[in-house]
């Protein structure tokens, strides 16, 4: 039997690590650290088959793993220049919301931009984003990206966020998974999944 490798993205673990696992190991999707940052468990592998390699920082978030059978290994996710620029655009978009700067927030959208928000599986049809009134009437806005949750691949950026927008007649609050697609540095699609 020939060993093949494939890249399995480790979404939602907040580690920025991608696991290159044997093709037959597509079910290895959970990574957990014991209390000591030098020990890692990967679902489906015994501790003796995983070696953790510490980076100079030595923190759990900086660790990579090396699976000792075959030539497969984990490596930190490296962003392309486009992906880095897209993450920066999304971060600046969120910063504009927190500053209640409607004109700046709207400047991040492409002309044909679309927006949708709702619970997973129940998002309504897309509509053209228009947040100017909301941003101008809000008493306060706090949109906090959860550290370690930002992910980018090509034109797609996603992150987890906790939002609280105080309005004169109520509030909008919740946890969201924001998914953005960008083209030429502008947001084309913006979907907020509430969870």
User: Considering 54, 76, 98, which residue would you say is the last residue of a domain?
Assistant: 76
Q: Of all helices (H) and strands (E), which one includes residue 97?
A: helix 81-98
Domain assignment of residue 164, given as a range: 81-194
| 160 and 139 in a common domain | yes
Q: What is the pLDDT of residue 123?
A: 83
Give dist(CA 178, CA 190) in Å, integer: 7
Beta bridge partners of 31: 42
Q: What is the model's pLDDT at position 135? A: 94
**H or E stretch at 104:** helix 102-107
Selection from 159, 180, 155, 188 nearest residue 82 by Cα: 155
Strands 64-67 and 109-119 turn out to be unpaired
Q: Based on the domain organization, do 9 and 86 belong to the same domain?
A: no
Residues 163 and 159: their CA atoms lie apart, in Å, by 12
pLDDT in single tens digits along all 195 residues of the chain: 433 333 333 333 333 333 333 333 333 333 444 344 333 444 444 444 333 333 334 433 333 333 333 334 444 568 999 999 999 999 999 999 999 999 999 999 999 999 999 988 888 888 898 899 999 999 999 999 999 999 999 999 999 999 999 999 999 999 999 999 999 999 999 999 998
Same domain, 70 and 55: yes
Are both 115 and 62 inside the same structural domain? no
Domain identity same for 67 and 110 = no
Q: How many distinct structural domains can be found in the chain? A: 2
Alpha-carbon 126 to chain mean position: 21
User: Which residues, other chains included, contact 31 with Cβ-Cβ below 8 Å and sequence gap of 6+?
Assistant: 10, 13, 15, 17, 19, 40, 41, 42, 43, 65
Same-domain check for residues 182 and 98: yes
């Amino acid at each position: 039997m020939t060993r093949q490798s494939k890249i399995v993205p480790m979404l939602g673990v907040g580690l920025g690590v991608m696991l290159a696992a044997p093709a037959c190991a597509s079910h290895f999707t959970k990574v957990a650290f014991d209390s000591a940052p030098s020990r890692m468990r990967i679902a489906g592998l015994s501790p003796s088959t995983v070696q953790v390699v510490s980076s100079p920082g030595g923190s759990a978030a900086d660790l990579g793993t090396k699976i000792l059978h075959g030539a497969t290994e984990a490596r930190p996710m490296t962003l392309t220049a486009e992906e880095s620029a897209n993450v920066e655009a999304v971060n600046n978009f969120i910063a504009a919301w927190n500053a209640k700067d409607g004109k700046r927030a709207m400047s991040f959208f492409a002309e044909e931009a679309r927006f949708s928000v709702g619970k997973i599986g129940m998002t309504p049809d897309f509509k053209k984003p228009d947040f100017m009134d909301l941003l101008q009437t809000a008493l306060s806005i706090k949109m906090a990206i959860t550290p370690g949750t930002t992910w980018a691949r090509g034109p797609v950026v996603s992150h987890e966020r906790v939002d609280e927008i105080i309005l004169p007649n109520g509030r909008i609050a919740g946890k969201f998974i924001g998914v953005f697609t960008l083209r030429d540095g502008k947001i084309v699609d913006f979907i907020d999944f509430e969870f």
